[in-house]
Amino acid sequence: MIKVSVFYPSSDGARFDMEYYGDRHMPMVQAKLGAACKGIAVEHGVACATPGSRPQFMAMGRRYFDSLEEFQNELRPTREEFVADVPNYTNVQPVIQINEVVVALEPVAAREHA
């Protein structure tokens, strides 16, 4: 499984509309990528290791796929539409990284309530 992470760096003057991103952009991405997209996550940066410091990233979006090839095949026809939507929720250039998921555990709270 791979995880596609899109990071939105914090900086002076940076803008990020978390409501738009979570309620409109990410559901649109998931719908366009179809069944190839195994899941999404939206994360809001709240802090860094130093108390009171600004988080390095305002937000992160995660998308999960079975393989890199599957992700690339599904992204090709929709990429421009995704890029065109970026100004609707942020004024920063996102940073994208693709990782192979080696170990994945459920959050403790999810296991306790199962």
Can you list the domains of the chain with their CATH numbers?
Answer: 2-112 (3.30.70.100)
- Average predicted confidence (pLDDT) for the chain: 91
Distance, in Å, from the CA atom of 12 to the CA atom of 25, rounded to the nearest integer, reads: 23
Helix (H) / strand (E) containing 4: strand 2-9
Q: State pLDDT tens for residues 34-90.
A: 999 999 999 999 988 888 888 999 999 999 999 999 999 999 999 999 999 999 999
Does the structure show a pLDDT above 60 at 8? yes
Distance, in Å, from the CA atom of 102 to the CA atom of 99, rounded to the nearest integer, reads: 9
* DSSP strand pairing (95-100 vs 2-9): antiparallel
Q: What is the pLDDT of residue 53?
A: 86
Distance, in Å, from the CA atom of 96 to the CA atom of 21, rounded to the nearest integer, reads: 16
